[in-house]
Structure 1
């Protein structure tokens, strides 16, 4: 697009008009805020902090919540957008980009990588790899950066001025018709700010890009406007030039008011079983119940003590023979059921809620607070696809592996702790654990003498005609149950982290720790609730 000597020689790119419908809520006193953006035009949107400039620019950029953005503006801020009319000939993906108040680059990529992503998502830029690298080099040079020395740097390695220039290069790569600039000179020294302003002026003049500029530094704004090329007016005039370069001021309304778990549990279980001795209790029962029977059979009121001693010795011997193996079996089955079906997936998920969930919510919240998510949306990239989908996939791989590893470690520790406390033998324990985990699945397909008239009969249980029972039979098998719980718990943790981190549209860096805490606590509570739901499902198997 080439600039015109007169803005009205070309069709407008954007016509915008917003009205103050509730003076008690509206952040500006103006009855109406309106302007038109033409090719090469620059609108300086000025006013005190809190007057609503960023809010209006977020609306124009399409960054307010899609479902209730207009309702939020009207209900919460008393602003009604009467029209925000874009030129129909301009595709939606080519309309608007935004340079945010914070220097907004994707932290996970280099400077060149950021610009490369912008080029890849620019509909009008279909470049091969060689052309792409050439374009990146030209864009960096346009904003005064060096491709070889600055391109490989991470955003954290850039100075404030360099970061602003890199952000501008990213916007240039998108070839948008309108670029919204929200305080582009904040924090820059005068010389650096002038350099950025001149780059913007060249962009406006040579590429025909329209600028909506929010700034509290009018002396720098003049360089963007062409240093006196057109007067900076208050927007009330009707001269044609004021439609190309003009100033719209928002007057602010006055404020009305100011592995260890496995070791611990195996030791505890072994110690409890070792302390449990039912011999004396059983002998007391024998004496109380058997003595009257002997008295009745012999006709003697006082039973011969020899009889009772012999019976007690026999019972004691029987108990000493049967109770230790029973304790060993109970210990092995308890460890297997406890860790495979219950404790293993739950403990791992609660730990990962803090590790993976907290880390992920912190990352997304930081991106939200530094406008990186807004940047992705202006680039036409779904923030969820950028962060959530790959992170969820990674967690689905990591969680089952970690859960299984922790469970195997706990069961292996149990094999050595039990014998140490005198509960069974290691070989017997391992066999009991194996038998408890790898149960037969009661499907007709797997039964030895199944008789099926149709293929669908093969997938029914041996004890029911219901497919629901078949599904429960498979889902609650220890191996599948272990895997299913792990995946469901991790999905809950990641979903809670995602929703919590993106919930607040205007999140600030100070709010990031609160987001992390909320996501970890809420995720853990929901995992516990889900674990209860799984236990109810397990009851149906039995």
Structure 2
């Protein structure tokens, strides 16, 4: 499933103060972008750049002021097919704040209440969704969601979305407020959904290292327009992009560049400093040994 925004602009409605009408500026300005089936897509940008509006347009929470949203080439508004947006799952920031049921299973099942499924079918879907996010049904089904850890609560909220079997899942800063083990476990689960179910994962984040490690593609939004797109390692090594956004290059990439410049060694996949360190140590030891033996060292990935 692909979603395309074609020449999309968006402005919030006019705001009335007394009798004066104020036209609000465009939040998104002539955006052309496609979310591709099966990708892990990260969206980056400063606060107020239009990220939330972009996500809500993809889900159908907002309608473009100009331009079209196309789902597999179909405009849901022109075709009067709003149900097409049901193929998109949306998970708000801190989704655990929206949990309310007595048990985990009831919370996950909430979205199925008007599905027309039998109780047995609902039970099976809830079980599958919980297991997919790493919550063993037998262990968690009858527990109160409010007794769980922050990471577990977030998994319950995500299960409540994937029980509807969306083809795309959109997440607003999914790791906000989580500790490192919970962040790692969350992305392991998202990668599993992406790889085993083919679910497209799109998320917004301010964490450059997170996007570098997990995204297959990255979009950069500034002042309502996408100024760059590509793989995170390329974009986050581009000085023009970094300067335009006021970003510092992630430490892993900076370290990899330093090693290349000073030792002629190109590190493979320098996505995370914890991954770079042992590879760097091994390569430097091998290079030192080669130098001592008079063996030339090729400037290429190993």
Please indicate, yes or no, whether the TM-score normalized by the shorter chain is above 0.5: yes
Counterpart CA distance in 1 for 2:55 and 2:143 is 30
Distance 1:185 1:128, change over 3 A: same
1:20 and 1:63 map into 2 onto residues whose CA distance is 12
How much has 1:121 moved relative to structure 2? 4.3
Once residues 187 and 238 of structure 1 are traced to their aligned partners in structure 2, the CA distance between those partners, rounded to angstroms, is 27
Change (3 A) 1:54 1:116: same
Q: What displacement does 1:127 show?
A: 4.8
**Alignment partner, residue 216 of structure 1:** 206
Equivalence for 1:200: 190
Equivalent positions of 1:38-437 (< 5 A) are 38-64=36-62, 70=64, 80-87=65-72, 88=74, 91-92=83-84, 94-104=86-96, 105-122=98-115, 127-225=117-215, 230=216, 232=218
Cα deviation digits, residues 492-540 of structure 1 (max 9, x gap) = xxxxxxxxxxxxxxxxxxxxxxxxxxxxxxxxxxxxxxxxxxxxxxxxx
For the residues of structure 2 that align with 1:153 and 1:159, how far apart are their CA atoms?
Answer: 12
> SS of the counterpart of 1:130?
helix
Shift of residue 118 of structure 1?
2.4
Alpha carbons of 1:116 and 1:19: their partners in 2 closer, same or farther (altered >3 Å)? closer
Higher share in strand: 2
110 and 224 in structure 1: CA distance in 2 versus 1, 3 angstrom threshold: farther
The alpha carbon displacement at 1:174 in A equals 0.7
Higher RCO (CA-CA < 8 Å; seq separation 6+): 2
How has the CA–CA distance of structure 1 residues 155 and 34 changed in structure 2, closer, same or farther, with 3 Å as cutoff?
Answer: farther
* 8 A contact 2:39–2:217 mirrored in 1: no
Task: Indicate conservation of the 8 Å contact 1:143/1:168, yes or no.
Answer: yes
Deviation at 1:236, TM superposition (A): 6.6
- 1:16: Cα distance to partner? 1.1
Aligned residue for 1:180, secondary structure, equals strand
Tell me, in whole angstroms, the C-alpha distance in 2 between the residues paired with 1:54 and 1:15. 17
* Contact preservation (8 Å) 2:41, 2:218: no
Greater share of helix residues, 1 or 2? Answer: 1
Structure 1 or 2, whichever has the larger Rg, is 1
CA contact (8 A) 1:13 1:177 kept: no
The TM-score normalised by the length of structure 1 is: 0.34
Number of positions where the alignment pairs a residue of Structure 1 with one of Structure 2: 212
C-alpha separation in 2, matches of 1:21 and 1:106: 31
Per the alignment, do residues 93 and 85 of structure 1 end up closer, same or farther by CA in structure 2, a change over 3 Å counting?
closer
The TM-score with structure 2 as length reference comes to: 0.59
- 2:112 and 2:37 map into 1 onto residues whose CA distance is 22
- The alignment partner of 2:38 has SS state of coil
CA shift at 1:238, angstroms? 8.6
Alpha-carbon contact 2:44-2:218 (below 8 Å) kept: no
